[in-house]
Structure 1
């Protein structure tokens, strides 16, 4: 019988979690908790964009307006909720938002939150571009954040978590310190690039309101239960291994009031354990991990 040759990558080696060196987060905490928010802008009646009712729906006035609700209303509800609990957040931020919705960027800056590079718009993907085109997209997105906020982003999440074979190399060369596109772990891990090591920071595609409630049509109460169960189990597992819990949000999904109410209850549960957790941003997670677990000589 002929053997099947699997295609592989050389970005990181296999590493079972029980065999890794132990470490802790600041103050001896074992579970880092990150709120990862996606703020996106779309093209009217063209390009890509999800729909509230059908996976294959064309771009319409209705689904454009549904997504626009997030930037006009839902994001502001979410900002207020995060303020109530004193929660920092990271924001995967389309760079064209600086022109379309600058007030959102101003609120992020006032809160002291983290901007994460997230392309120009979620009306496009970067994995269809050649290397020069992708380099230009990364440069444009990075420059827009740096010019408006005064600080270049340290982390990147591609629109639709899409990458080409060169993405990690291009991000490292553009000065990025970490990526969120590889949901392979509950701990950070080092990845190889042609210019040196780049850190992967956990980012949940399961505990994520868009695939959960838009694509799989889960209820808000189901998503609430998922958040609580994921948190409780990870808090238990973190006795053995320091872990990163992330909840991933989109204001045009979670910002609808009945869904926001479910998130409010879930956050209340999490914050009831605040003495046991390290509430952080992905950038803070990356910074601490790089200090306590510097990259090996081969980069991974």
Structure 2
């Protein structure tokens, strides 16, 4: 495992081979949760010795302004498409957005979306952090989101997907319930830590719009088709989880939002989806464990 041998799937709850079938509410086959990444990128962040924040020299006006499209325009396109087809959001939040763009956070809260932490800034990385530094970021996330939304975050997706060997132990220590930082299964699994257990909620790199458009160079329609094919296979298998990770500055562009909305329409119309949140998946899965 990425964060050390002591953080592992528990073989008592998840033996080798096919996982036990999970039952979702209403007899649905697949829990579908949408994870809008509401992020904040600094135009001139502090330099990190192990990773550059921007490909260009700072200040990277191009990179910053491209991503700022999320907070000015495309968040609303994305959110409206989700709401039209009955999909709530489980927000992967750069908690600094509460200070920099509170109107976006307020809009997500008004829609009844759930929040979990994606760190403070998406241009600051966990590599090399001490336990105290990482613990402070977790505490800041809890405090900031509670003050901004009234919610207590239950989950974690590491900032820019960067970790230390202590990450899982520290979020469990802080009382969080789930992590989105493992990509190893299509069903929830139990993760043992020093202080107890976390639930791993399936996230996705494969149908993440960042990978779809930046890595795989998909067209909008090819990406939408991939979402539907992902759903159909998981629904056929049953007892599974489908995550749709989004970034509004990508999926909310005018030429992409139509095919994306059509994919949501097709998934909703199929009848086998349980549109839900990461927290609800965590609760329903835990209720079925020994």
**Distance (Å, rounded) in 1 between the aligned partners of 2:4 and 2:150:** 39
Which residue in the other structure is 1:39 paired with? 38
Show CA shifts across 1:78-133 (max 9, x none).
11112211221111011111111111111111111100111101011113311111
After alignment, is 218-227 or 165-174 more displaced? 218-227
Q: CA deviation at 1:45?
A: 3.2
**Distance (Å, rounded) in 2 between the aligned partners of 1:63 and 1:155:** 28
Asked if 1:286 corresponds to 2:285, the answer is no
- The answer to whether the 8 A contact 1:135-1:170 is kept is yes
Name the Cα RMSD after superposition: 1.8
Q: TM-score, normalised by structure 1?
A: 0.87
Q: CA deviation at 1:44?
A: 1.3
**Distance (Å, rounded) in 2 between the aligned partners of 1:145 and 1:71:** 17
**Distance (Å, rounded) in 2 between the aligned partners of 1:16 and 1:29:** 25
Q: CA deviation at 1:149?
A: 1.3
**Distance (Å, rounded) in 1 between the aligned partners of 2:122 and 2:46:** 8
How many matched pairs? 277
Which residue in the other structure is 2:175 paired with? 175
- The answer to whether the 8 A contact 2:123-2:160 is kept is no
Which residue in the other structure is 1:145 paired with? 145
- The answer to whether the 8 A contact 1:221-1:262 is kept is yes
- The answer to whether the 8 A contact 2:90-2:113 is kept is yes
Asked if 1:268 corresponds to 2:265, the answer is yes
Q: CA deviation at 1:162?
A: 1.7
Secondary structure of 2:40's partner? coil
Show CA shifts across 1:224-251 (max 9, x none).
121111111111121xxx1001111001
- The answer to whether the 8 A contact 1:162-1:181 is kept is no
Q: TM-score, normalised by structure 2?
A: 0.90
Which residue in the other structure is 1:249 paired with? 246
**Distance (Å, rounded) in 1 between the aligned partners of 2:45 and 2:75:** 23
Asked if 1:216 corresponds to 2:213, the answer is no
**Distance (Å, rounded) in 2 between the aligned partners of 1:278 and 1:188:** 15
Secondary structure of 1:211's partner? helix
Query: Per the alignment, do residues 39 and 47 of structure 1 end up closer, same or farther by CA in structure 2, a change over 3 Å counting?
Result: farther
**Distance (Å, rounded) in 2 between the aligned partners of 1:17 and 1:278:** 25
Show CA shifts across 1:19-57 (max 9, x none).
x33330112222111111101011113358xxxxxx944
Runs of 4+ displaced beyond 6 Å: none
Q: Any unmatched runs of 5+ in structure 2?
A: 48-53
After alignment, is 194-203 or 25-34 more displaced? 25-34
**Distance (Å, rounded) in 1 between the aligned partners of 2:159 and 2:112:** 23
Show CA shifts across 1:193-230 (max 9, x none).
11011110100111001122123322222211211111
- The answer to whether the 8 A contact 2:86-2:275 is kept is no
**Distance (Å, rounded) in 2 between the aligned partners of 1:8 and 1:139:** 23
